[in-house]
Structures are given as C-alpha cells and as structure tokens.
C-alpha cells in the first residue's frame, strides 16, 4: 500500500511541473519548473533501486542542464521573453497529435505481455555499474568521451563568432 | 504501518538537524564570524547582548522577524519567494550523509546513503539554481549580474570539488561517507600517498570555499562590486534565509572536509611521546605570551587561552594512553573539534586574503585546479594499480 | 497492489507525450529543447524500469540510461549553442520567425 | 523495506520538513511585519539612482561558454565516479582505459583554452 502511495505522490510531483514546463507563459518559470520534474524522475529511479542513476540525474539534470538552459534564457531573451506570445498557432493540432500518440502507445502497452522476472530482485551498486562500464561496455565508454569532445568543440565553434 | 513509523522518525531527525543547523550553523556561525573578525582586527566584536554577546544573533533574528518584506515592482513574486527556500533546503539536505560520531552502539549518521559523497555534490549543485532564480526574480540589473557571476563561479568550482571527492573515493573504494571514515582508521587521507593527499585536500578546500562564496572567492556579493549581488533586493527574513543557507553550506563543507581528509570522528592515534611534545610546546607558547613583553598586546590574549586548552587536551590524551582506554575522548568531541577548526580556518581566511577578480578566479579554477585535479587522479591511479 | 512495470510505462508515456506537446507547440527554441529533455527523461524511466523488472540481474539498463543522460547533456549543449548563434545572427529565437535558409 | 528506498525516504522527508520550517518564519513575518507598499519603496535599489531601462540587459556569450564547458566536464564526472570506486579490484587495464578517456577530454580542455573560450575579458 505504501509503495502505491509513494508512486502517486512522485508522479504528481513530476507531472504537474511537467505540465507547467510545457504550457507556462513565462519562459523562466517553465525552465525552473524543470527542476521538480527531474526530482520526480529521481524519485522513480529510487523506487526502481537505481541509486547511482538517481544521484547522477540530480547532479547532471537538475544541476547542470537546467543551469545551462537558464543561462541561455537570460542571455538571449532578456526582458522580452516573458511578454511575448509563447505558443505557435498549431496548439490544437499539437495537442491532438500528442494525445493520439499517447493512446497508441498505451494500447500497445496493454496488449503486449512483458516477460517480468519472478523472485527476489537484487539491489544494484556503483561497483556493478563501474565493472560493467570498464569490462563489458568499454567501447561505449571510450566512444562517449569522443562524443563529449566533439560536442564541446562544436558548441564552442558555433557559439563563438570569430571576431 | 512501518512506513508511518519511518516517516515520523525521519521528521523528528529533520527537525533536530534543522534546529542544530539554524542555531549552531547560522546564528552562532554569524556570531563566531563577528567575534573572530573582531579579534583579528584587534577589536572586541559583539559583547553587549547577553553574556559575551552570545545572544547578539538571537536579537538580530528577532529583529528580522518584524522587518517588512519588500518585493520589487514587476518582480516575479513566486520565484522571488522560493529562491531562498531552495538555497536553505539544499544546505539542510547536505547533512543527511554526514556522520557525527559513534554512540549507542551505532554510527550517529541520519542515513548512510550508498552514494553518500555523490549525493553531497548533487545537493551542492542545486544551490546554483536558487541563486540564479534569486538573481533573475528581483528585476534588478545588479542582482541579475550578481546572480550570473555567482552562478558561473559556483559551477566553475564544482568540477574541482568533484575531483577532490573522487580522489578520496578512489583511496577509500566506496562512496558512502561512513565507509570513507572507516577506511581512515589506518591513517588520515590527508597523509595518504604523501604529496597527493595534501594536494587533494587543498583542492577540495579551495573549491569548497568558492562553492560557499566566501572570501577570497566572494566577488559576486562583494560590497565594493555589485551592491550585495544576487540578494540585493531581499530584505528581512528572506535575507536571513540566504544567510542560513550560506552558513549551513559552509558548516556542511567543513564537516565533509573533516570526514574526507581528517578522519571524521576518528581519534588521531599518535604515540605518547608525540602528545607529550605537543603539550610541552603548547605550555611553552602560553608561558611565553603570558610573561614576556607580549602580555600587554591585547590581541595575543586569546592565544594563551587556546594554548592552555591545547596543553590540557594533550594531558588528557597522555593519561588516556597510559590507562589504556583506546578511544580516550568520545568521538563527537573529535568531530566537532575538526569541524570548528576548519570553520575557524575559513573565517580566518576571510580577513587575510584579498578578493580575487572574476577572471583570476575563473582562471584559477579552469587552468589550475582542474588540470591539477585530473593529474592527481591519474597519478594516484597509476601508483595504486600499475606501480604496485 | 504493488507497483508493477505497467505503472512506470504509463507514467513515462504521459511524460513523453507532454514533452512532445511542448516540442510541437512552443515558439521559443529553448522551450523546444526543454520538451526534448522531458522526452529523453521519459525514455530513461522506461530503460530503468525494464532493467528492474525484466532483467534484474544485469545493469545494462542503467548503463544505457547513463549514456542517454550524457548524450542529452551534449545535445542540450550543442542545441543551445545553435540558439545562441541564431540569436546573435537573427536577433530572435522564435522558431516561426527563423525561416531563412541562410542568414 | 529495502535500504535504498528508506534512505531516500529520509531525504524526501528532510526536504519536506526543511521547506515547512523555512516557510514558518516567512509566515510569521507576513503576520507580524507591517505591509505598506509605497511606490518609492518598490523601486529596485540602484545605489540611489532612479532605475531606468530594462533590468534584463543582454550579456556577452562568455557566460554561456563557461556553462557549456562545465556541463561537458560534469558529464565526464559521471564516468569517473564508478571508475574511482572499482578500479583497484579491476587492475591495470581499467587505469589505461580511464587514461585514454581523460586524455581525449584533456584535448577538449586544451582546445577551449587555446581558443580563448576560458578567457573572461
């Protein structure tokens, strides 16, 4: 019983700010309401015993990406961001497309039978993730650093105009 | 039913830790700061309200309770009010993982989270959001600029902070704070892999000072620079909440530094003759300051008190060692002694170092601390695996 | 009754469609990036939920979720660099006003 | 109940209690303090000068560059934490893998350094 209560609280903590992110007229308010959404998602990771992913989610999403988004909002929009119309003309169209996609996914979800594992579910640890990264997924590990390098160099080239 | 019991226990602990943080951290942190800065500048500091001015900050808080809250025109009231909450709550959340000591047969920590130090770094990174929101919501050019500069300083110093923590995680082999302190039973990490331990400690302390926006890294809220930076528009109790957040974070960083590098609540197991030598040295300084020409100098009077206290401590340690009691003093005393020593060091730095300009400050982080941290990690990794 | 796999899948579908709605209807390029972040988070919830319920022994779901977080950060960085360049070049980041092929 | 869930339950309760305990003084101030909103009082403080123009002036792109480099190196820290915890048991090859990882990213830092992305001027 308690787990279901926790689940509903967390989904409320996540979905209400998510609606604000998507519909708020003030761009900074929608950026700041990203943070409770990410903390709600962190709560889900905790219920799924993925503790390291939850810590990283708080550190990177709530701490780095939201700061980056806030920086760009402050640098580009300045004052006009809050008074200007935020939505394009196709709101009903977009809403229909999103609802239709949600309906489609939910139907397929309910149809398929997921091979849920039985029995006691083990808990995870940072050591397991570290060993996985350094032994089974070494290629992903090294290629991700290349992706990071390329995105860093690319972003600097794009953002900085050659004076 | 078990959930309810757990939640009640957590709420009770939260109230306890919050009052400890608000009273010891914020109120007496401010009092300590004013007394120490007074002592360094050869003046007395608050002494009228209550014995030795102890109730000065209590009086300030009560005064703040009846100050009017002014919200600037066209400011975003919702964000304007939640920003101090974010900063204060983030400072409180740091204390979930810090182990205070051992008592009643178990480690006195709120919860020993498996990814303890990563959790601490994550909570420190949430404060930046509060500062940016405060700077933006107060509709004031200086506050916005102060918020942006303070945020860019804090994010620049988050990486060296993480590298300092990583070094300790590497040596200890675990992320949980209690595990790190247990791993230091053999020897404090400050003295592990001799030169690198000290380098990691200096790296962590510099980043922690910058993370808490204290001098020499407090440019964003420098009086001479930006009219108090991001909390320019905050009056009364909301400003006090920012102070609570800042001092809570400072005490949290000092506590974590003592857990990571000075062995948390562990007692330094020095041989008896070392304690004897320390005791004699302390007594010698006390006698010299007391009876030589320096006794007229008002500034040095607290030094005699400190030296005598040190001598008494060494005496107790020698007595304990002779009687064979392994933990001579209760572990709580060692934890608070180390924490307050680091807090004193942070406050002492405030009145001895000039303020860094913003570009020097950022250059120090990106061009000195970050490469030093990375090389430190690699060198220790090399020594621990390949060279062994 | 206990929280099963379908609970998480339903919640992540709702979050995904909210993100999609944001991407489709917002005028500000930064708001579109926020919608994309929501969709990536929804995907992450699915990854970790499957890892937990379908293959609890392995950690591959969580490793995948970490790589998705990394790529989301890179995507946000490059996307926002484009927004900065567009703002500097065209003085606007409203997507419906950016309709020139070359500026 | 598993340890992980109880640990973070404490974190959630700490956050909730923290918010309540920080809101209480604000409510007390709302009850006690006078509320006299004079127009002059609500002007933002510009060291005495009457504030003019928009508060949200635009700034140089260097703020963004620092946030960008921070995000990339913060993401690099994700891979350092598991490595730091586990590399002693794995032996030397884990160290060399991390050496390659860090060297590639060091190239990124050198690039940002030489291209002046780290300059504040």
pLDDT of B225 reads 56
The residue count of chain B comes to 388
Ordered by start, the domain boundaries in chain C are 5-90
The per-residue pLDDT for range B154-182, each reduced to its tens digit, is 899 999 999 999 999 999 988 999 999 99
The per-residue pLDDT for range A6-54, each reduced to its tens digit, is 899 999 999 999 999 988 888 888 899 999 999 999 999 999 888 999 9
Q: What is the mean pLDDT of residues B62-90?
A: 81
The per-residue pLDDT for range B258-279, each reduced to its tens digit, is 999 988 888 887 888 888 898 8
Domain count, chain B: 2
Final residue in a domain of this structure, among B45, B66, B87: B66
Final residue in a domain of this structure, among B13, B38, B66: B66
Q: List all residues 6 or more positions away from C101 whose beta carbon is below 8 Å from its beta carbon.
A: none
Which residue in A has a C-alpha nearest to residue B80's C-alpha? Answer: A29
pLDDT of A120 reads 62
| Complex ipTM value | 0.90
pLDDT of B226 reads 55
More confident residue, B301 or C65: C65
B353: alpha, beta or left? (left if phi > 0; alpha if psi -120 to 50): beta
Contact list in B for residue A58 (CB cut-off 8 A) is: 119, 122-123, 125-126
The per-residue pLDDT for range D64-84, each reduced to its tens digit, is 888 999 999 999 988 999 999
Say whether residue C83 is in contact with chain D using an 8 A CB cutoff: no
CB atoms C73 and D61 under 8 Å: no
Contact list in D for residue C29 (CB cut-off 8 A) is: none
Q: What is the DSSP string of B129-151?
A: HHHHHHHHHTT-HHHHHHHHHHH
The per-residue pLDDT for range A117-147, each reduced to its tens digit, is 776 666 677 888 888 888 889 999 999 999 9
pLDDT of B28 reads 83
pLDDT of D104 reads 93
The per-residue pLDDT for range B226-269, each reduced to its tens digit, is 555 676 677 777 788 888 888 889 999 999 999 999 888 888 87
B57 and B101 part of one domain: no
pTM of the model: 0.90
Q: Hey, what are A25's tokens?
A: 């007229």
pLDDT of D10 reads 92
pLDDT of D57 reads 44
Say whether residue D75 is in contact with chain C using an 8 A CB cutoff: yes
The answer, yes or no, to whether residue D55 has pLDDT greater than 50, is no
Average pLDDT, chain B: 84
The answer, yes or no, to whether residue B343 has pLDDT greater than 60, is yes
B12 and B156 part of one domain: no
Structural domain harbouring B168:
72-267+353-385
Say whether residue D12 is in contact with chain A using an 8 A CB cutoff: yes
pLDDT of A123 reads 67
Which residue in B has a C-alpha nearest to residue D77's C-alpha? Answer: B162
pLDDT of B70 reads 73
Final residue in a domain of this structure, among B23, B48, B66: B66
The per-residue pLDDT for range B6-48, each reduced to its tens digit, is 899 999 999 998 888 888 888 888 888 888 888 777 777 777 7
List the one residue out of B227, C57, C35, C101 whose CA is nearest residue D45: B227
CB atoms D17 and B15 under 8 Å: yes
B361 and B259 part of one domain: yes
List the one residue out of B176, C67, D38 whose CA is nearest residue A141: C67
The model's confidence at residue B371, banded by pLDDT at 50, 70 and 90, is very high
Tell me the CATH number of domain C5-90, given options 1.10.287.3510, 1.20.210.10, 2.40.50.100, 2.40.50.140: 1.10.287.3510
B236 and B199 part of one domain: yes
Contact list in A for residue C53 (CB cut-off 8 A) is: 114, 116-117, 121
Say whether residue C22 is in contact with chain A using an 8 A CB cutoff: yes
Subunits with 3+ Cβ pairs within 8 Å of A are B, C, D
Contact list in D for residue A79 (CB cut-off 8 A) is: 54-56
CB atoms A74 and B136 under 8 Å: yes
The closest CB to that of C3, out of A3, A30, A148, belongs to A3
Q: Which of residues 74-93 of A touch D (CB under 8 A)?
A: 74-79, 81
Size of interface A-D (CB pairs under 8 A): 145
The answer, yes or no, to whether residue C26 has pLDDT greater than 80, is yes
Average pLDDT, chain D: 82
The answer, yes or no, to whether residue B119 has pLDDT greater than 90, is yes
CB atoms B363 and D118 under 8 Å: yes
Q: Token pair 């402050």 is at which residue? A: A74
CB atoms C54 and A117 under 8 Å: yes
Structural domain contains residue B256: yes
Q: Phi, psi (5° rounding) for residue B97?
A: -100, -5
Q: Token pair 């929009």 is at which residue? A: A77
Say whether residue C68 is in contact with chain A using an 8 A CB cutoff: no
Cα A50 to Cα A47, C16, D7, distances in angstroms: 8, 20, 13
The closest CB to that of A27, out of C28, C41, C67, belongs to C28
* DSSP H or E run through B106: strand B106-107
B91 and B115 part of one domain: yes
Q: Residue B107 pairs with which residues in a beta bridge?
A: B102
pLDDT of C33 reads 93
Count the helix, strand and coil residues of chain C and give each as a percent rounded to the nearest 5.
80, 5, 20
Structural domain contains residue B255: yes
The model's confidence at residue B355, banded by pLDDT at 50, 70 and 90, is confident
CB atoms D12 and A123 under 8 Å: no
B40 and B167 part of one domain: no
Q: Hey, what are D101's tokens?
A: 């990882």
The per-residue pLDDT for range A76-122, each reduced to its tens digit, is 765 445 556 667 777 888 899 999 999 999 999 888 888 887 766 66
């Amino acid at each position: 019983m308690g787990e279901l209560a926790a689940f509903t609280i967390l989904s409320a903590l996540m979905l209400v700010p998510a609606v604000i992110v998507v519909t708020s007229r003030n761009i900074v308010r929608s950026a700041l309401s990203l943070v409770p959404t990410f903390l709600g998602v962190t709560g889900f990771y905790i219920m799924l015993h993925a503790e390291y992913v939850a810590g990283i989610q708080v550190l990177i999403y709530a701490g780095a990406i939201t700061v980056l988004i806030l920086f760009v909002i402050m640098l580009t929009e300045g004052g006009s961001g809050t008074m200007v119309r935020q939505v394009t003309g196709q709101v009903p169209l977009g809403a229909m497309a999103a609802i239709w996609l949600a309906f489609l996914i939910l139907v397929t979800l309910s149809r398929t039978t997921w091979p849920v594992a039985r029995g006691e579910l083990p808990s995870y640890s940072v050591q397991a993730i570290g060993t996985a990264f350094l032994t089974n997924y070494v290629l992903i590990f090294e290629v991700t650093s290349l992706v990071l390098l390329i995105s860093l160099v690319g972003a600097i080239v794009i953002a900085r105009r050659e004076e | 039913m078990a959930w309810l019991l757990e939640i009640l226990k957590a709420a009770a602990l939260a109230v306890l830790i919050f009052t400890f943080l608000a009273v010891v951290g914020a109120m007496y942190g401010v009092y300590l700061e004013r007394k120490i800065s007074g002592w360094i500048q050869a003046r007395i500091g608050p002494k009228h309200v209550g014995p030795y001015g102890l109730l000065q900050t209590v009086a300030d808080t009560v005064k703040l309770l009846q100050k009017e809250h002014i919200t600037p025109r066209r400011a975003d009231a919702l964000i304007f009010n939640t920003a101090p909450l974010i900063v204060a709550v983030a400072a409180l959340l740091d204390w979930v993982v810090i182990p205070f000591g051992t008592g009643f047969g178990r480690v006195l920590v709120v919860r020993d989270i498996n990814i303890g130090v990563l959790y601490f770094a994550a909570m420190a990174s949430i404060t930046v959001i509060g500062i940016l929101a405060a700077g933006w919501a107060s509709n004031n050019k200086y506050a916005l600029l102060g918020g942006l500069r303070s945020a860019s300083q804090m994010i620049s110093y988050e990486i060296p902070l993480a590298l300092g923590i990583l070094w300790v995680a590497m040596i200890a082999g675990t992320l949980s704070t209690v595990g790190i302190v247990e791993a230091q039973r053999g020897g404090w990490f400050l003295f592990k892999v001799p030169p690198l331990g000290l380098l990691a400690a200096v790296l962590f302390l510099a980043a922690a000072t910058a993370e808490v926006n204290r001098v020499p890294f407090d440019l964003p809220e420098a009086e001479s620079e930006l009219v108090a930076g991001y909390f320019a528009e905050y009056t009364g109790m909301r400003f006090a909440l920012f102070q609570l957040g800042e001092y809570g974070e400072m005490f949290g960083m000092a506590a974590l530094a003592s857990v990571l590098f000075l062995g948390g609540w562990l007692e330094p197991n020095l041989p008896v003759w070392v304690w004897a030598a320390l005791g004699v040295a302390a007594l010698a300084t006390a006698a010299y300051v007391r009876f030589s020409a320096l006794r007229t100098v008002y500034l040095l009077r607290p030094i005699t008190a400190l030296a005598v206290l040190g001598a008494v401590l060494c005496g107790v340690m020698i007595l304990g060692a002779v009687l064979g009691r392994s933990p001579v003093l209760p572990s709580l005393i060692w934890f608070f002694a180390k924490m307050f020593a680091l807090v004193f060091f942070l406050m002492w730095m405030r009145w001895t170092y000039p303020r860094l300009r913003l570009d020097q400050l950022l250059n120090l982080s990106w061009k000195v601390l970050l490469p030093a941290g990375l090389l430190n990690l690699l060198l220790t990794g090399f020594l621990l695996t390949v060279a062994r | 009754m206990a929280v099963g796999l379908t609970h998480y899948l339903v919640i992540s579908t709702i979050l995904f469609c909210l993100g999609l709605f944001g991407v489709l209807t917002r005028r500000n390029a930064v708001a579109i990036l926020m919608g994309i972040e929501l969709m990536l988070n929804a995907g992450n919830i699915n990854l970790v939920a499957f890892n937990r319920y379908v293959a609890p022994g392995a950690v591959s779901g969580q490793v995948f979720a970490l790589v998705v977080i990394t790529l989301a950060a890179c995507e946000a960085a490059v996307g926002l660099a484009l927004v900065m360049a567009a703002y500097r070049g065209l003085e606007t980041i409203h997507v419906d006003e950016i309709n020139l092929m070359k500026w | 109940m598993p340890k992980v869930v109880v640990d973070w339950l404490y974190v959630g309760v700490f956050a909730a209690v923290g918010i309540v305990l920080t809101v209480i003084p604000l409510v007390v101030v709302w009850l006690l303090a006078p509320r006299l909103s004079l127009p002059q009082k609500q002007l933002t403080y510009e060291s005495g000068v009457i504030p003019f123009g928009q508060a949200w002036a635009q700034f140089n792109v260097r703020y963004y560059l620092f946030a960008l480099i921070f995000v990339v190196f913060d993401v690099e820290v994700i891979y350092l934490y598991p490595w730091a915890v586990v590399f002693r048991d794995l032996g030397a090859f884990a160290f060399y893998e991390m050496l390659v990882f860090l060297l590639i990213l060091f190239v990124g830092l050198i690039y940002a350094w030489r291209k002046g992305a780290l300059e504040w001027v």
